[in-house]
Chains A and B, each alone.
Chain A
Amino acid sequence: MMLFEVALQVLREAVRRRWVLALFIGITGMLLLLSFTLQLEVVDGALAASRLFGKVLGIGAEDAEVALRPLFAAGSALLFYGGLLFGIVATADFAPRLLEPGRIEHLLALPIRRWQLLLGTFLGVLVLCLSAGLYGALCFTVLIGTKTGFWMWQLFGSALLCTVAFASIYAVMLGSVTWVRSAATSAALGGVMFILGIIASNRVAIAPFITEGWGRTGFEAVTSVVPRIASLGLLAAHPDLDPERLAQLPTLLVGMGLFTVAVLTLALSNFESKDY
């Protein structure tokens, strides 16, 4: 199917780029460094000591599963937020390159429909983001698992949630390119969405600090439609939260899904009628 053919082309182009190689070398290098420097001593199921670069981390002897939770929480948060930020920077020029004069005309003269071109790019970038996240999660899990004998799958969930959050951000980035073909604008809008997503997650707490009236109403209106990035990040880092918070997950995912579909629909409608 042409949609997948376009997505595959995006992936093929991505793997030929230096930054993708740098991403995988970076993830591998960081994990190798950790594997050489992090010393975890587990005795009879309890974490006796952990050292990083030879320094004791100050964790007393306790149940290894409990003791490792902060480590996995930190890893998950790093994967979630790091993945989002890296994704924004690294994929900002994908769509602008595809729409470059001399390339877009060539593509549009091929038997590809415009929606296939746009959604194929979206799909390809998401697969790339998910692959990088899963690779990092796999390496980190294997590293800790082989060192301690405890296997926790939390990071894979974090990689998946990161991809869902990135989908909503990338929809805005991709959509912006159908109006203004600029990698800088695309990256800037990705950054704005990232920050707005954190603010929107804390809108209830922030709203009282804004003077009552049109200011607060405006703030509440804007943040009501923005994906709750930080709320999802919190769930990614702490899946062991109380059930009430965990119950928010479906609502968060549906909200992000609706936002993504709405933005992509708007972008498609603009792309379909645009002259190149």
Chain B
Amino acid sequence: MHALEVSGLTKTYGSALGRKQEALRGVDLALPAGTSFGLIGPNGAGKTTFIKTLLGIVAPTSGELRLLGGSPKDPAIRRRLGYLPERLHLPAFDTPPSFLRQIARFKGVAWDADQIRALICRVGLEDAIDRRVGGFSKGMRQRLGLASALIGAPELLILDEPTDGIDPMGRAEIRRILADEVARGTTLFLNSHLLSETERICTRIGVLNRGKLVLEGPLETLRQPSPRWTLRFAEGAPREALLALGFEPQDTGSWQLEAADAEGLNVKLDRAREAGALLVGLTPELRDLEKVLAEAMQEAA
């Protein structure tokens, strides 16, 4: 079953002067339930518009959209999802328990004080449990926002910049929480400018550029179209022979080799071994997400 299905989704904003701006230009996406998906792209790519359209906050101009098998306009569907907006504004006079109790009431979830307290502790706000939200830092607000998204054990979590303003230790905590949720079977839809965060949390990536999903697929596939390998040989490896075989020395003492497939790689390795080089390490050369994004942008341009 798909947690999210989008086909031919477009959104065009019109101004009072009649000027039109295409924010989404035919986005297609299908996410199986339980996927952790990361949406990346440059500023103004339409990421937030896409998320808002998914939630029914912004009405699409055309296209089809299904969340958890239904329409996001249906409150019964919205009850099954958790959302954290990019800039969550919280009522200043609330304390974390009163805010979360209210969200639980809105979601129709009968949570008692102990469950609310446990959730507050889970997002690391136990020391601020009696404080008013008005005095919270940005990171604390994000944590409380995440807690509100987690109320009612949602089947789909849509998070827009969840770690924005959170310190590195806090980010690790948030990552653990999200990993736990994914392990529970929750589908995660994450929008983050922090590519390293996305890389660590998500198993599937989509690149949005100028309102179009220009690249989408499993993270490992996107990161590894390069036929390059990093190798380490035991001390005393014959440098000249390796150079003659096409191995490239690196500053770190390792070597790199380009091989189109497994057979080509093994042929070169056999020859290196015949020349007296003993292999002690072999890792595929993975591109980081920054490179994936840059290449996708370049191709789209």
User: Which of A's residues lie within 8 Å of B, judged by CB?
Assistant: 2, 5, 9, 12-13, 16-17, 100-113, 273, 275-276
The chain A residue sitting closest to B87, CB to CB, is A102
Report A-chain residues with C-beta under 8 Å of the C-beta of B107: 110-111
Q: Is the CB of A17 within 8 A of B78?
A: no
Q: Is the CB of A110 within 8 A of B87?
A: no
Q: Is the CB of A106 within 8 A of B78?
A: no
Report B-chain residues with C-beta under 8 Å of the C-beta of A105: 52, 55, 57, 83, 85
Report B-chain residues with C-beta under 8 Å of the C-beta of A276: 52, 57-58
Known pairs A102-B85, A275-B57, A275-B59; A111 contacts B52 (CB<8 A): no
| Shortest distance from the beta carbon of B59 to any chain A beta carbon, whole Å | 6
Report A-chain residues with C-beta under 8 Å of the C-beta of B81: 109
Known pairs A111-B106, A111-B107, A273-B59; A100 contacts B89 (CB<8 A): yes
B93 within 8 A of A: yes
Choose among B87, B91, B103, B105 the residue with the greatest number of A CB atoms under 10 Å from its CB.
B91
| Shortest distance from the beta carbon of B214 to any chain A beta carbon, whole Å | 24
Q: Is the CB of B106 within 8 A of A101?
A: no
| Shortest distance from the beta carbon of A105 to any chain B beta carbon, whole Å | 4
B residues 80-120 touching A (CB-CB < 8 Å): 81, 83, 85-91, 93-94, 98, 102-103, 105-108
Q: List 13 A-B contacts (CB under 8 A).
A: A16-B94, A101-B87, A102-B89, A103-B88, A105-B85, A106-B83, A106-B145, A110-B78, A110-B106, A110-B107, A111-B79, A112-B106, A275-B58
Number of B residues whose C-beta is below 8 Å from A? 32
What is the interface of chain A mostly: helix, strand, loop, or mixed?
A: loop
| Shortest distance from the beta carbon of B108 to any chain A beta carbon, whole Å | 7
Q: Is the CB of B57 within 8 A of A111?
A: no
Partner of B55, one of A17, A109, A112, A113: A109
B281 within 8 A of A: no
CA distance A6 to B71 in the complex (A): 23
The chain B residue sitting closest to A13, CB to CB, is B91
Partner of A109, one of B13, B83, B93, B102: B83
The chain B residue sitting closest to A102, CB to CB, is B89
CA distance A100 to B76 in the complex (A): 25
B residues 133-189 touching A (CB-CB < 8 Å): 145, 148, 158
Report B-chain residues with C-beta under 8 Å of the C-beta of A275: 13, 52, 57-59
Known pairs A109-B55, A109-B57; A17 contacts B89 (CB<8 A): no
| Shortest distance from the beta carbon of B78 to any chain A beta carbon, whole Å | 5
B276 within 8 A of A: no
| Shortest distance from the beta carbon of A19 to any chain B beta carbon, whole Å | 12
| Shortest distance from the beta carbon of B99 to any chain A beta carbon, whole Å | 11
Report A-chain residues with C-beta under 8 Å of the C-beta of B145: 106
B26 within 8 A of A: no
Q: Is the CB of A102 within 8 A of B88?
A: yes
B34 within 8 A of A: no
CA distance A39 to B199 in the complex (A): 78
Partner of A103, one of B52, B86, B89, B98: B89
B75 within 8 A of A: yes
7 closest residue pairs by CB, A with B: A102-B89, A16-B93, A111-B75, A109-B83, A103-B89, A102-B87, A275-B58
B124 within 8 A of A: no
The chain A residue sitting closest to B105, CB to CB, is A5
B249 within 8 A of A: no
